[in-house]
Amino acid sequence: MREETGHCFYAMELIEGETLAERVHRAGPLGVRATIDVAQQVTAALIAAEKRGLIHRDLKPANLMLVSADGETFADRNDEKLIVKIIDFGLAKALNAPVDPMLLTREGFVGTPAFASPEQFEYSALDVRADIYSLGVTLWFALTGKTPFAGRSAEEIHRAQQLNALPIEQLKAAHVPHRLRSLLESMLAVEPAARPGTHDLAARLRSCRTQFSGVRRTRVALAAAFIVILGVTAFFILRSVRIDPAAGSASNLDPLEKSIAVLPFENLSRDPDNAFLAEGVQADILTKLAKITDFKVISRTSVMQYRGKQDLRQIGRALGVSHVVEGTVRRSDGKVHVNAQLVDARTGTGVWAEEYDRDLNEVFAIEADLAQSIANRLRAKVSARENLAMQERPTSDLVAFDLYTRANNLLLSMAASSTRKADLLQVVDLLNQALARDPSFFLAYSQLASAHDQLYFFGFDHTPARLALADAALRATSRLRPTAGETHLARARHLYWGYLDYDGALAELKVACQSLPSDPQIFGLMGFIQARQGRWQESTANLERAVDLDPRNVDMLRQLAFTYDVLRCYDDEKAAFDRALAVDPNNVETQVARALVDPISKADTQPLHRLNDSIRITNEKEEALVVPEALDHYSVAHAKTEKQAPRRDRHVARPRPNFFKKLVVGLMKLQKHQPAKSSRKGDRNAQASGRIRAK
């Protein structure tokens, strides 16, 4: 770079060759080997640039020149003597330079939107992980000829990065090996901290090359031995009749379809109070496994319904998993005995089992060891970050852990409880006791913030004092582990329940799901918020994901059904309500909602009238029930429409308790498919109703 006659300029090497973009457009996507070769050389360049405090900011196929070692263009060669040169370093930026939006190009944006990292759209401080994201998109393009996120503008592309899942099916169609697919997913993480660093990236690329080379050698060996295999085919056929190929072999699973449910562990201790230890062991193993991106792990809400000995194959089918974990815990004289077994739910065959006899204070080490063993047995791809998360101890105090487990169990069971306020207050008390014993108990603080937020949002204590308690618990959570997924989830709940800050909550949830990929609360809360914003398609997709991870959660199924109703997907709506009723057949509110589908979709009011009459017969004090009261409002409307005077008069003449007019109006607007205007008002009315109750 030089200055002459008052003008600054820089000169770059003239490279004769073909860019990666030109190569793909001319001859189609690269093979896996060539793509890995490109990735390794670019990574080496990024490491060198990072040492000098530089980042490129515009890595893309058009800025990678491909030439062979002897000077021929890569377009004319098909050997391994490939040299990649990064061009257009004119946009490079010093890592420690301050962000100055006034100096950025093209309306404040530096780079090429289709290949830029999410943080580049936000004018955030950048480091080498922005280049790693761009390299990930470039490699995706090299393998498929497409970019993972498309859009007609920079804003559309950025929105897709934030909201859409990676189209992994594109990589599958290109026959990209799983290890390389997994690496690309981590390189394209929305949160920079979730992406690999340069040295980690280099190591993982070496692993990908080793795997691919091994696969190629194996294919050659198989081809050479084909004639020999033909000669002994009969032997192998007879042998295969006697051996179940699915039993005990994790290698038969597609790694992307690994799924597991950790069932409640049985308490074998004489003291029934020790049941909480068994539940705590199960919960912690489930939590650790749920942090592995390579797994689908069913939520504890759904698995807790399967206590005791049952048909494991039937459980596997009901929960949609390939494997289940079951176990026992016995506590005696300062010792703990833990037995765990991994079972293939498709065949009912035991895959692996382990027993531990250790001092009670080693129970957390046992949980970490069990989670690691299960992951290894199923050949899960566990990142360094995920491995560290599995080794973390929730607390060093067993009594605090017992109190936390009791509080957690209450939170799981209170969804539609009539004693919800009392339960939440008990949760707060239990968690405060746990924190008095261990002031560094991070998970207890995150749950305490949630309990205070629920007391505030649902109107049980809608006061500034309660909100301040939630603020304090969240500050403690953030102080202990500011970047943890649980912290981001707690912030999201607080922003939503405490302040109705939808956009802020969604931003926190997008970060949380990077480290908590199997937590249905994240996707469920996303769905709830997006529904209130009128973003029904996105809401439905997230709720479907939540139900996939928590298939027996009645509240989640009901919310999914309501989104189907707004989208007029009535068959899907009925199916969701039917699934909810299969879990809780006596839930009157769900029965009412299910009965309303036909009047709305078919103008058939008979199911509604039949259910209404049955509720009156079975509930003599129906005037105290809110749900039959709401049903009356619909019934009056239908009775007027049908001109059924006797039925209409009976409904209108009934004395009814206070019913919130604005809430009913909101529901009516929602029924008329005006969701965007009624949604936020519905939240405010719910809070208003809480203030009325508080007074």
Among 137-141, 276-280, 540-544, 623-627, the least confident range = 623-627
Which two structure tokens, joined as six digits, stand for 469? 């308690």
For domain 250-393, the CATH superfamily is ABC-type transport auxiliary lipoprotein component (3.40.50.10610)
Residue 298 in contact with residue 319, Cβ under 8 Å? yes
Q: Label residue 85 by pLDDT band (50, 70, 90).
A: confident
Which two structure tokens, joined as six digits, stand for 103? 């100096």
- Residue 337 sits at the vertex; the CA angle it makes with 332 and 340, to the nearest 5 degrees, is 150
Count Cβ neighbours within 10 Å for each residue of 655-673 and write b for 16 or more, e otherwise: eeeeeeeebeebbebbbee
pLDDT tens-digit series, residues 595-646:
888 877 776 666 666 666 666 555 554 433 434 444 554 544 444 444 443 4
For residues 659 and 279, which has the higher predicted lDDT (pLDDT)? 279
For residues 403 and 671, which has the higher predicted lDDT (pLDDT)? 403
Which two structure tokens, joined as six digits, stand for 138? 């470039």
pLDDT for position 194: 78
Q: Give dist(CA 67, CA 83) in Å, integer.
A: 5
pLDDT tens-digit series, residues 162-221:
778 888 889 988 889 888 988 898 899 888 877 888 888 888 898 888 766 654 544 444
Residue 328 has pLDDT above 90, yes or no: yes
**CATH annotation of 397-516:** 1.25.40.10
- Residue 387 sits at the vertex; the CA angle it makes with 384 and 390, to the nearest 5 degrees, is 155
* Cβ-based neighbours of 71, under 8 Å, separated by 6 or more: 16
CATH topology for the 16-215 domain: Transferase(Phosphotransferase); domain 1 (1.10.510)
pLDDT for position 109: 59
Structural domain boundaries of the chain? Answer: 16-215, 250-393, 397-516
Q: Label residue 417 by pLDDT band (50, 70, 90).
A: low
The burial class, CB within 10 Å (0-12 / 13-18 / 19+), for 104 is: middle
Other C-beta atoms closer than 10 Å to the C-beta of 220 total 10
Residue 170 in contact with residue 163, Cβ under 8 Å? no
pLDDT tens-digit series, residues 234-257:
333 333 333 233 333 443 444 435
pLDDT for position 516: 94
Count Cβ neighbours within 10 Å for each residue of 390-418 and write b for 16 or more, e otherwise: bebebbebbebbbbbbbbbbbbeebeeee
Q: Give dist(CA 601, CA 667) in Å, integer.
A: 16
In whole numbers, what is the pLDDT of the chain averaged over residues?
Answer: 78
Residue 258 in contact with residue 295, Cβ under 8 Å? yes
Residue 503 has pLDDT above 50, yes or no: yes
pLDDT tens-digit series, residues 13-40:
667 678 899 889 888 999 999 999 999 9
